[in-house]
Amino acid sequence: MKKNRSVPADYILPHIYYENMSEALTWLIDTFGFVEHFRFELSGGQLHGVMMHHGDAWIMLKNSGRTLTSPVKLGAATQSLMVFVEDIDEHYRHAKSSGAQIVEELFDTEYSERQYSAQDLEGHIWMFAKHIRDVDPESWGAKLAR
C-alpha cells in the first residue's frame, strides 16, 4: 500500500465532529494524551479540521455542519472509538484525574482486553484498551464465520 503523509491512517480514519473543535482539541490532548499532527483553516481563518493521533491511532476532528453533528447537539452518542494504548492503567488514572467522565470503569474482558470507557466534553464515547493476551474467540462463546 502506498503511504500518504497527509492521511497517515492505512485502514480507517474516523472523522469526529465537534461544535467547538478548538476546545475539544485542547481537552483531548490534555485528558487523553492525543498529539496534534496538523490543522487546516477555511479561507476566513476558521479552524476546519485537525489531524491528531495517539501512537498509531489517527483521528480527524472536524467542525459540525448541517448534516454531521456532535452528540451534545444530537442528545445521544451514535458510535464509540476504541484506541489501544501501552499503559492502560496510567492512561485511565490520568483521564480520570483530568476530569474525564468515566462511563465504564477499568476492567478485564472475557476476550482478554483491559479497557475502560469515557465520555468527552461533547458526548463522544472513547474506549481505551490494551491486549492482555491472545485468546481464541470460541473459548469465550463467539461463533466463527466459516
Show the domains of the chain with their CATH numbers: 15-71+79-136 (3.10.180.10)
Asked whether the beta carbons of 15 and 62 are under 8 A apart, the reply is yes
Provide the β-strand partners of residue 17. 62
Asked whether the beta carbons of 58 and 13 are under 8 A apart, the reply is yes
pTM higher than the cut 0.75? yes
What span, in angstroms and rounded, lies between the C-alpha atoms of 29 and 35?
6
Instruction: Output the pLDDT for position 3.
Output: 72
Average of per-residue pLDDT across 20-33: 96
Cα angle vertex 100, ends 99, 106, to 5°? 120
Instruction: Categorize the per-residue pLDDT at 42 as very low, low, confident or very high, splitting at 50, 70 and 90.
Output: confident
